[in-house]
Amino acid sequence: MNERILQKRLKRLGIAVAVISAAILAAGSLASFYLRNILGEALTGQMKSDADQYRTNILRQMDADLQTLDTLGSLLQYGDAESLIRRFGQTKGHNDFEQISFYGSSGTEAAVALPDESVRTVIEEAWKGNSGVSRIYQEDGSGRNIFTYAVPVCPEGAVEGVLTASVSTDVFLDILQDDTILGRTGYVHLISDSGKVLVRSSNRIVSEDLDTIYDNGYILPEEKEEISRAMAEGEVCLSSFTYEGSTYQVLLEPVSVNGWYLFCVQTMQGASRSVYDLMTNMRLISGGILLLILVIIAYGYRLIRRGNRELIRNTYYDPLTGAYNRRRFEYEIGPLIKKSCEYSIAALNVRQFKFINEIFGSRAADELLCHIRKVIAENVRAWEYYCRSSEDLFYLFLRDTDRTAIRERIKKIIDGAAACRFGGRGDYEILMYCGVVIGSELAEEDPDVQKSMTHVRFALDTARTSLKNNIWFYDTELHETEILENYIETHMNQALENREFKMFLQPKVDLQTGAVGGAEALVRWVPDTGNMIRPDQFIPVFEKNGFCSSLDMYMAEQACGQIRRWIDAGLCPVPISVNQSRLLFYETDYIDRMRELLDRYRIPGHMITLEILEGLAAENAGVLNEKILRLKELGLRISMDDFGSGYSSLNTLAGLKIDELKFDRDFLLRLDDKEVDRSRQLVIMNEIVELTKKLNIRTVAEGVETKEHEELIRSFGCGYGQGYYYGRPVSAEVFSEKYLGQKSA
């Protein structure tokens, strides 16, 4: 799993959490809304039935008053109207009537003169035979709100007069203030259909004296519009008004008399306080639970997020420096390498980091690593990456492919690292080395991170061993050599056991007689795969790892064995020269082992010549001479190989008890070279030959390739010649046939 997937998951989780929270919130508010609606509906229903009751009571009151008046009217035929009314008036206290008047046909005019038009209208209607109730108007003089009932008086069937009675609106007030109906949680006003307040209950909420319900803007304009419309149509209307921050529900119920309306206000949001309280508590509790759930979810989410972050940090980041780790680095650069070869990878390492750790302590070393990370971070550009792989190993992925540019950038980093005064130490200079692989130089068919990382490690190893160059670029050829060396080292022991090392022989020709006077044993490695490995490929490796000693002893044994086979075959054997490595020569049991070989194969010592390298003489001539003398006691011959290739002087040559001197191939090569002073070269060779003659040392010239070479070496008295001109190294069988067969014949 990679970081992006983790991030994606986290994002998805975040969205899920948000959605779930939103869903819970929505469900909560929906439930709350639903409950409120149910409760609201219940309350509205309650209000409606309450309002109905008020209305019925008012209508009942008016019916009863009209009936009383009607009865009074029917009594008028039995007496004088005026005295009857007076007497009835005296019963005040048993009825609500303030002022009773009779309008006979004679009193019509008086009625017409009445100030209130509405009263006149109801009287006119009564003349037509219909009882009625006038609008509410102000009484002359007292200014009280009153209204008038009017009933027709028709003793014989025809209307003969009208009886009226004025009543104070207080009769309605008593009804409206009956607070048992709204359960003491509301009040009722009587209003006109234009919104004018006619009878105002004292149980009100709004303290000001308002002329109409619309005054002071407690009812919002849109509500007002709706109310006016409903009242114009005579419909029931549900509305609300806001007073001192609280909103109250209002029901407008038509009384169906004179356009009167009951303005019922619910002061509490419920008919029953307990239900309301329960509702409030439930909402509080569910709100609390919801909040708790949200907090738990948020906490869980935070935990997961933190866990994920930690996971990402541990999986993809180096805990010490905070840089990417190698895994993340490879993950990032993998696709880039596949896409284009325009990149380079550098591996940076601190020289002797282990010592830094040991001498200055791990804290100081950690400080250094963090500093290096900082320097690297400052030097990488957009779309470039870096990581700390392990200990002091940093990798960089750069977009540069030009060696000079890369070198400059790396140098800047190395210099930046050197500036670190870690652990408060200013006296220790930090040295870094670096291996670089350039993508465009690889030309690999299938570019791959792992391969590139291996190459860069190889370049880094080379940089480590190089003293002069601390930035090393990966070289394909160099790498192949490394691969071969690796093969050599891992297969050499097995190869020796499997007898994969073969002895080839190259003839040494006596220049005076032209006969083959000896042979040099040259090793050939023929692995099972059949691809022969040349000695210049594996001998240097063996010299380094010490395996040369085993190989040389093996070759010496092969040579002894071959001589023995020649003798046994009745052939005249030629001495064989074997190459001896420096290490072998210094081994303490070397001489014993040589003796043991000669004994085992029962051959005289002079049949074996040991070729030692010129460099040995330069090291310690005394020890060398002593060894030479002891070997010579066994009859062995000693030859100095590659003379002239190194440091030996004629002086050292004079001091050595050797039997043979082999001129390095270089002598002849230099004679071929037109640039070199040929005559000077000839003088030197001549001098050497003269000296060897005096010292009784025979000379062999190596690398004789042409007739001209032969003539040349013969001209200054060289004893033997060895080279392709006479014959290439061949297998022992071929050699025996080709050279010894002839001889024996």
Work out what residue 724 binds among ligand C2E, Ca ion, none; the CB cut-off runs from 5 to 8 Å by kind.
ligand C2E
Extract the tokens encoding 458. 């190889």
User: Which residues within the stretch 76-115 sit at the binding site for ligand C2E (CB under 6 A)?
Assistant: none
Between residues 384 and 702, which has the closer beta carbon with respect to ligand C2E? Answer: 702
Using alpha carbons, select from 162, 115, 163, 124 the residue that is nearest to residue 143. 115
Taking the C-alpha atoms of residue 581 and residue 611, their distance in angstroms, rounded to an integer, is 9
Question: Quick check: 253 binds Ca ion (CB under 5 A)?
Answer: no
Taking the C-alpha atoms of residue 437 and residue 426, their distance in angstroms, rounded to an integer, is 33
Taking the C-alpha atoms of residue 735 and residue 519, their distance in angstroms, rounded to an integer, is 9
Give the rounded distance of the alpha carbon of 61 from its chain centre.
84
Question: Quick check: 34 binds ligand C2E (CB under 6 A)?
Answer: no
Among 209, 429, 536, 589, the residue binding ligand C2E under the rule CB under 6 A is 536
x-marked contacts with ligand C2E along 224-263 as a string, rule CB under 6 A:
----------------------------------------
User: Which residues within the stretch 679-708 sit at the binding site for ligand C2E (CB under 6 A)?
Assistant: 702-705
Between residues 122 and 548, which has the closer beta carbon with respect to ligand C2E? Answer: 548
Question: Quick check: 429 binds ligand C2E (CB under 6 A)?
Answer: no
Question: Quick check: 616 binds ligand C2E (CB under 6 A)?
Answer: no
Extract the tokens encoding 545. 């790892």
Q: How many CB atoms lie within 10 A of CB 557?
A: 17
Q: Which stretch binds ligand C2E (CB under 6 A): 17-25, 69-77, 338-346, 528-536?
A: 528-536
Work out what residue 523 binds among ligand C2E, Ca ion, none; the CB cut-off runs from 5 to 8 Å by kind.
ligand C2E
Between residues 152 and 517, which has the closer beta carbon with respect to ligand C2E? Answer: 517
CB of 705 to ligand C2E, least distance (A): 4
Positive or negative: CA dihedral 662, 666, 668, 670: negative
Taking the C-alpha atoms of residue 659 and residue 663, their distance in angstroms, rounded to an integer, is 13
Among 148, 579, 648, 692, the residue binding ligand C2E under the rule CB under 6 A is 579
Q: Which stretch binds ligand C2E (CB under 6 A): 110-118, 358-366, 529-537, 632-640?
A: 529-537
Residue nearest to ligand C2E (CB): 723
Question: Quick check: 518 binds ligand C2E (CB under 6 A)?
Answer: no
Among 134, 344, 389, 506, the residue binding ligand C2E under the rule CB under 6 A is 506
Between residues 132 and 518, which has the closer beta carbon with respect to Ca ion? Answer: 518
Contact 398/382 with Cβ under 8 angstroms? no
Taking the C-alpha atoms of residue 148 and residue 123, their distance in angstroms, rounded to an integer, is 9
Taking the C-alpha atoms of residue 101 and residue 109, their distance in angstroms, rounded to an integer, is 13
Question: Quick check: 392 binds ligand C2E (CB under 6 A)?
Answer: no
Work out what residue 703 binds among ligand C2E, Ca ion, none; the CB cut-off runs from 5 to 8 Å by kind.
ligand C2E
Taking the C-alpha atoms of residue 720 and residue 658, their distance in angstroms, rounded to an integer, is 16
Taking the C-alpha atoms of residue 54 and residue 44, their distance in angstroms, rounded to an integer, is 15
User: Which residues within the stretch 634-663 sit at the binding site for Ca ion (CB under 5 A)?
Assistant: 641-642
Work out what residue 548 binds among Ca ion, ligand C2E, none; the CB cut-off runs from 5 to 8 Å by kind.
ligand C2E
CB neighbour class for 284 (10 Å; exposed up to 12, middle 13-18, buried from 19) = exposed
User: Which residues within the stretch 330-389 sit at the binding site for Ca ion (CB under 5 A)?
Assistant: none
First to last CA, the chain: 80
Extract the tokens encoding 347. 């591996």
Question: Quick check: 4 binds ligand C2E (CB under 6 A)?
Answer: no
Residue positions counted in the chain? 745
Among 60, 339, 499, 534, the residue binding ligand C2E under the rule CB under 6 A is 534
Question: Quick check: 336 binds ligand C2E (CB under 6 A)?
Answer: no
Question: Quick check: 558 binds ligand C2E (CB under 6 A)?
Answer: no
Contact 312/324 with Cβ under 8 angstroms? no
Between residues 336 and 556, which has the closer beta carbon with respect to Ca ion? Answer: 556
Taking the C-alpha atoms of residue 389 and residue 369, their distance in angstroms, rounded to an integer, is 12
Between residues 140 and 672, which has the closer beta carbon with respect to ligand C2E? Answer: 672
Question: Quick check: 555 binds ligand C2E (CB under 6 A)?
Answer: yes
CB of 583 to ligand C2E, least distance (A): 9
Collapsing DSSP to helix, strand or coil, 673 comes out as coil
User: Which residues within the stretch 583-642 sit at the binding site for Ca ion (CB under 5 A)?
Assistant: 611, 641-642
Contact 181/50 with Cβ under 8 angstroms? yes
Taking the C-alpha atoms of residue 472 and residue 458, their distance in angstroms, rounded to an integer, is 9
| Residue 500 φ/ψ, nearest 5 degrees | -80, -15
Buried b (16+ CB within 10 A) or exposed e, 434-473: bbbbbbebbeeeebebeebbebbbbbbbbbeeeeeebbbb
Q: Which residues pair with 135 in a beta bridge?
A: none
Give the interface with ligand C2E as residue ranges (CB under 6 A).
Answer: 506, 522-523, 534-536, 539, 548, 551-552, 555, 579, 581, 641-642, 702-705, 722-724, 729
Give the interface with Ca ion as residue ranges (CB under 5 A).
Answer: 579, 611, 641-642, 702
